[in-house]
Each structure stands twice: as C-alpha cells, then as structure tokens.
C-alpha cells in the first residue's frame, strides 16, 4: 500500500522569541523558523533600498556569482544595479548574484565587504533572539560577548540579487546554521530535511531542483521538500545545519546573512569533523580559527 507524500508547508512564524527558546526549540532541535519581528530595532528598511545602496556604495567593487558559489567576476555595485535591477522580464537562473562577503580567506585580490559592514553597522542590530556568547564557530566562550554587527562570522555578507537570480539547492558547510535577514524584496524558497540527502546528492554534487538530471540523480523523484515558502521584508529565517535549501529572488532583493555554530551544537560539530569535511571547508575553518579578523586582533601586540 502506497502512502502519499506530505505536501511542503510554510514555516512557523514567531515573534517575541527569547534567546533561550531560540536555542532550546530551534537550534538544539535543528528546526527552521521565521522570526517576524526581529528587525524592530533596526534602521528603517528604506535604508536598504537599491537607490540608497547605490548612493552609499555604488562605486564599491563587489563579488558577483552565478547560481552557486563560484566567483564569476568583480564589478562595481552601481554597474550591477544598473544592468540587472528594475527589469520586468528575466529568465530564472540567468541573472548573476552579488554575494558581498566579509573576509572568508586571506586573499586581498577579492573586494571583501568588511569596510562596508563598518559603515552600516549602526543600521542594524543583533537580533534580540540571537545569543551573544557561547559559540563554537566563531569561537567565543560563555563569558565572551559577540555581535554580528561588528564581529566576524563566517559567510557574513550582503546578498544583492535582481529578479530571476537564484541560489541553487545546497546545504551549508561547517555543520553550521545560518540566518538570512530579508531587507528588501521577496524570496521564494524550498527546504529539504537532512535525511533527504540520499535523494538529492550524488558523487559530491547536488541536484538542480528546477532542472533535475534524472540520469545523475535517479532517486530525485523520491525526494520531498519539507518547506515551501516566501520570505518577506522584515523577516529572518533560520536555515538549520544540514538542511538543503534553494532560494529564488522573485523580485529585486537585498538580504543580510551570516553562519554560526552555537555551543549547543558542539556534539554535532565534532561528529561532522570526524567525517572528514572537504579540503575547502578545512581551509576555511583554519582561516576562521587562526587568521580571521577577530583572532588576529586578539593576539598579543595587536
């Protein structure tokens, strides 16, 4: 007797979320959630509109990607906005994507966003539910305060994507959770639970859910997304460790993001490390623990 697959659901929306509940009900249980009121202490969302960003940062060189995470080119933000924003008709997946990361490696050929983040650090705030201590990545003990508005986090960046841009299905590295804060425009997304990996991956590659190669991914038809939803301006989504996610910009969009591993997930992080992360992940972790800005600044004599 066959059973019908459960239809994907919208994510739970919560408000007035405490740090304790965020950790116990979502991080520890590896559950996604959307927080609807966490930008209440931020500057008005108009601050993040494309014309405002163009005035402040238009001459800055930014990192431009395709629909995954291979750097495709470097150009000014003004050039990207002028070429791709405000277009009514585009083919999904054909539009490049600005992922303006802060330092992810000791490579000064890349125009990192660290200085830009310093300039707009007063325009946003640590979300009220996000812990201010006790992290495995980046490392902070229980007595050491940390704040994503001013401190280094892996993959902290400003994502600027024109209508039609997408981020293809993937699970984030480092056994890390991520927060994505939607500042302008809307993004549709689907999410698959970690247990679905056997249907979504093959030989180190992940299926393109919009154009699946059934020869390379013969079991994809058995995969069932747990979530199908739209992220609206002012909302923050938690993407838990190991969850596969695919995002489409259904309008021009601006988002802010960072990854982290909280101390409550230390056991899962250790198990992940024992299963031999990729060489690229190991290099990024070495940078995080040995060379990232917060580590360098804390060394004697700095």
- Return the structure tokens found at 121: 């650090």
Cα–Cα distance, 260 to 178 (Å, whole number): 6
- pLDDT tens-digit readout, 78-122: 999 999 999 886 665 579 999 999 999 888 889 999 999 999 999
Cα–Cα distance, 84 to 104 (Å, whole number): 26
Name beta bridge partners: 153. none
Beta carbons of 209 and 167 less than 8 angstroms apart: no
Q: What is the pLDDT of residue 107?
A: 85
- pLDDT tens-digit readout, 14-60: 999 999 999 999 999 999 999 999 999 899 999 999 999 999 999 99
| Nearest residue to 159 (alpha-carbon basis) of 31, 227, 248, 90 | 248
- pLDDT tens-digit readout, 190-210: 999 999 999 999 999 999 999
- pLDDT tens-digit readout, 119-171: 999 999 999 999 999 999 999 999 999 999 999 999 999 999 999 999 999 99
Using pLDDT thresholds of 50, 70 and 90, give the confidence band for residue 300.
Answer: low
């Amino acid at each position: 007797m066959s059973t019908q697959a459960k239809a994907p659901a919208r994510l739970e929306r919560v408000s007035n979320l405490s740090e304790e509940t965020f950790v116990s009900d979502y991080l520890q249980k590896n559950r996604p959630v959307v927080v609807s009121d966490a930008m209440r202490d931020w500057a008005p969302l108009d601050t993040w509109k494309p014309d405002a960003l163009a005035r402040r940062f238009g001459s800055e060189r930014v990192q431009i990607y395709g629909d995954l995470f291979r750097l495709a080119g470097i150009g000014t933000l003004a050039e990207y906005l002028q070429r791709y924003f405000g277009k009514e008709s585009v083919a999904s997946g054909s539009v490049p994507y600005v992922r303006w990361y802060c330092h992810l490696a000791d490579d000064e050929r890349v125009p990192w966003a660290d200085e830009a983040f310093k300039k707009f650090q007063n325009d946003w705030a640590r979300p009220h539910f996000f812990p201010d201590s006790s992290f495995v990545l980046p490392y902070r003990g229980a007595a050491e305060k940390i704040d994503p508005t001013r401190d280094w986090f892996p993959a902290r960046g400003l994502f600027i994507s024109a209508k039609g841009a997408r981020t293809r299905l993937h699970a984030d590295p480092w056994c890390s959770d991520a927060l994505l804060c939607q500042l302008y425009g809307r993004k549709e997304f689907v999410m698959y639970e970690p247990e679905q990996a056997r249907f979504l991956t093959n030989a180190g590659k992940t299926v393109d859910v919009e154009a699946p190669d059934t020869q390379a991914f013969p079991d994809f038809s058995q995969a069932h997304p747990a979530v199908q939803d739209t992220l609206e301006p002012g909302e923050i989504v938690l993407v838990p460790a190991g969850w596969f996610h695919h995002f489409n910009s259904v309008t021009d969009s601006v988002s802010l993001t960072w990854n982290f591993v909280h101390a409550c997930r230390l056991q899962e992080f250790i198990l992940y490390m024992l299963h031999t992360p990729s060489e690229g992940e190991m290099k990024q972790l070495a940078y995080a623990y040995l060379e990232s800005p917060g580590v360098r600044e804390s060394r004697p004599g700095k």
